[in-house]
Structure 1
Amino acid sequence: MPYRNHSVKIDFHTHIYPDHLALQTVSAVRQRAGVDAHTEGTLEGLKRSMATAGIDLSVVAAVATKPKQVESIQRWLRAIRQPGIEALAAMHPADPLNSEQMKMLKGEGFRGFKLHPDYQDFFVDDSRIYPLYEAVAAEGMFILFHAGIDRGLPYPVHATPKRLAAVNEAIPQLCMVIAHLGGEEAYEETSSHLLGRDVYLDTSFVLRKMPGTFRERFLREHPSDRLLFASDSPWTDQGEELRFLLQLPYLTDGEKERICYANAARLLELEKRRCS
């Protein structure tokens, strides 16, 4: 039976870059990672992609690779937020924000942060980072973690499923969103360490690429209220990713609605903002 729920669709994990850097950045990633880009990596390119795909809201996840970049990236993130475009706040573990700065960001409407342990050169389960996690949790915010390999980056992998599970074990109050369904090519490890945990998994980049047996197992066994539709645009096509998810026969309409809207809306506190 075809999917008939026409609710709002949210893409929880996308990337864009300032206009003057987009061409250079997209070209560099394409060369390093060997992946095609499906937009030019700009805000306007993302909006065109959303209109074509039938996606109502995209969440932009930017990474500060150096502490000195945080302030300028955060200014840009403030500027791009608009109806249909949300963003996660920037932070670097080498110079973590204090609680007052986090409160200010939350007051501006930011609900979470993006961390990329490979780019930011830290192991996700390094106990020296735990005070940062505890501070984020204390503010009622979440962290979207890159997980697994990032094509073209050197080893070691700083955020494996096992390491991410250790963080959840140590700081269960932290709301964790784990990208790429636990990590590209880390499917066995995700099965052993993350499935069924009280963490969110997003579908970015790997949804159509992963083996079908793992895909069905993950989407059936992980709680449907802890799954998030995400594309990783521009590194996949938003429309192709969404259509693929919506045609999966083993997901109910209710599960698809949770994955494509309700879970993200809860994390972003969209209903709370609408009523305030």
Structure 2
Amino acid sequence: MDITTLDAIDVHVHVEQDSHGCHSLDDELIDASASYFKASANRTPTLSHITDYYRSRSMAAVVFTVDATSATGHPALSSEEIADEAASHPGVLIPFGSVDPHAGQAAIRRARRLVTDHGVRGFKFHPSLQAFQPNDVRYYPLYEALAELGVPALFHTGQTGIGAGLPGGRGIKLRYSDPMLLDDVAADFPDLTIVMAHPSVPWQDAAISIATHKANVYIDLSGWSPKYFPPQLVRAANSFLRHKVLFGSDFPVLTPDRWMADFADLKIKDDVQPLILKENAARMLGLAAPEKNTEETREP
């Protein structure tokens, strides 16, 4: 991928429908999420639609689904199919895989195949939707495999629109997405790159502390319009975490067009904007050579 031709890299893009017309979630959860985000665009875009959308904007997209088969009973979309199709558009799509953490050794074997046979560049986890506590040592062999493979793990953190407004939130538990659970994982697997997705409300300060303390942890800015970002997140992104925050939209429920329009009003420093929009992601994904860390520091 020639990153010099790109204006931005969106590290958080959901594939919600495959080429057979199957959806990533059941209709009730899709409708609840769309209502939560007030999404008016196509709620279940195919990978072909995503490719055209991002190519027309000179952006690359990290694309993935979430395998929550055990927790939801809903069949997951095929990460293999997503990765194989993404290979036809290497200048636009960067495929991440997803495995069901409850599958144990089968998940580990599949993760290895996704990387070695299908070119997957990382993995997406959604602890609340997948119903697992990420710092439970039962899942450590999976993280060990990802660290050995040299690919990052992107974890949903904070509140989720999936199940929002439904009785009991459809049984989805927010506590699994507390970023402090990932502090254990980051400490125990220092060679594993971890991306904490979203402003981690109601645990934003915890996420900032973890990203500050752990060199292997990033924050992506997806899932919220920038005009609603917590002020402490904006301050951190503009200063001491300037090399640790990544542009992400949460397409299709939040589009890059809406995100970019609101981001322009944040008064992010001119020299920080290219870091957030592209350069940090390129380094995290191994698309660019590592740079000397010139982060600002602050008193603990």
Q: Shared topology, TM-score over 0.5?
A: yes
Corresponding residue number in structure 1 for 2:50: 46
Is the 1:228–1:260 contact (alpha carbons within 8 Å) kept by the matching residues of 2?
yes
> Whole-Å Cα distance in 1 between the matches of residues 246 and 196 of structure 2?
10
Structure with more helix by fraction:
1
Q: Alpha-carbon deviations, 1:26-60, whole Å to 9, x = none?
A: 764232562233334213443454356x2421111
Cα distance, 1:141 vs structure 2? 1.0
> Whole-Å Cα distance in 2 between the matches of residues 234 and 60 of structure 1?
11
Query: What is the 5 A alignment of 1:22-101?
Result: 22=23, 28-31=29-32, 34-37=36-39, 38-43=41-46, 44-50=48-54, 54-66=57-69, 73-81=78-86, 82-83=88-89, 84-96=92-104, 97-98=107-108
Question: Is 1:219 matched up with 2:237?
Answer: yes
Q: SS of 1:235's equivalent?
A: coil
> Whole-Å Cα distance in 1 between the matches of residues 209 and 283 of structure 2?
27
Q: 1:188 to 1:225 in 2, by over 3 A?
A: closer
Q: Percent identity?
A: 23
Letter in 2 for 1:58: A
Gapped regions of structure 1 (runs ≥ 5): none
Is the 2:80–2:118 contact (alpha carbons within 8 Å) kept by the matching residues of 1?
no
Question: Is 1:188 matched up with 2:205?
Answer: yes
Q: 1:240 to 1:113 in 2, by over 3 A?
A: same
Cα distance, 1:249 vs structure 2? 2.4
Q: 1:225 to 1:66 in 2, by over 3 A?
A: same
Choose the corresponding residue for 2:148, options 131, 134, 138. 138
Letter in 2 for 1:245: F
Q: 1:229 to 1:55 in 2, by over 3 A?
A: farther
Which is further off, 88-97 or 142-151?
88-97
Q: SS of 1:13's equivalent?
A: strand
Cα distance, 1:269 vs structure 2? 3.4
Is the 1:202–1:228 contact (alpha carbons within 8 Å) kept by the matching residues of 2?
yes
Question: Is 1:269 matched up with 2:282?
Answer: no
> Whole-Å Cα distance in 2 between the matches of residues 30 and 80 of structure 1?
27
Q: SS of 1:200's equivalent?
A: strand
Is the 1:146–1:180 contact (alpha carbons within 8 Å) kept by the matching residues of 2?
yes
Q: Alpha-carbon deviations, 1:144-183, whole Å to 9, x = none?
A: 11111213243342021211112112222211011003x2
Cα distance, 1:104 vs structure 2? 5.5
Choose the corresponding residue for 1:125, options 127, 135, 139. 135
Is the 1:13–1:231 contact (alpha carbons within 8 Å) kept by the matching residues of 2?
yes
Letter in 2 for 1:18: D
Is the 2:204–2:233 contact (alpha carbons within 8 Å) kept by the matching residues of 1?
no
Structure with bigger RCO (C-alpha 8 Å, 6+ apart): 1
Corresponding residue number in structure 1 for 2:7: 8
> Whole-Å Cα distance in 2 between the matches of residues 23 and 143 of structure 1?
20
Cα distance, 1:73 vs structure 2? 1.1
Is the 2:208–2:233 contact (alpha carbons within 8 Å) kept by the matching residues of 1?
no
Choose the corresponding residue for 2:222, options 183, 187, 204. 204
Corresponding residue number in structure 2 for 1:114: 124
Corresponding residue number in structure 2 for 1:21: 22
> Whole-Å Cα distance in 1 between the matches of residues 75 and 146 of structure 2?
16
Q: SS of 2:269's equivalent?
A: coil
Runs of 4+ aligned residues of structure 1 deviating over 4 Å after TM superposition are 22-27, 67-72
Q: 1:40 to 1:55 in 2, by over 3 A?
A: farther
> Whole-Å Cα distance in 1 between the matches of residues 146 and 233 of structure 2?
31
Cα distance, 1:118 vs structure 2? 1.1
> Whole-Å Cα distance in 2 between the matches of residues 229 and 252 of structure 1?
15
> Whole-Å Cα distance in 1 between the matches of residues 75 and 123 of structure 2?
12
> Whole-Å Cα distance in 2 between the matches of residues 252 and 22 of structure 1?
40
Is the 1:93–1:129 contact (alpha carbons within 8 Å) kept by the matching residues of 2?
yes
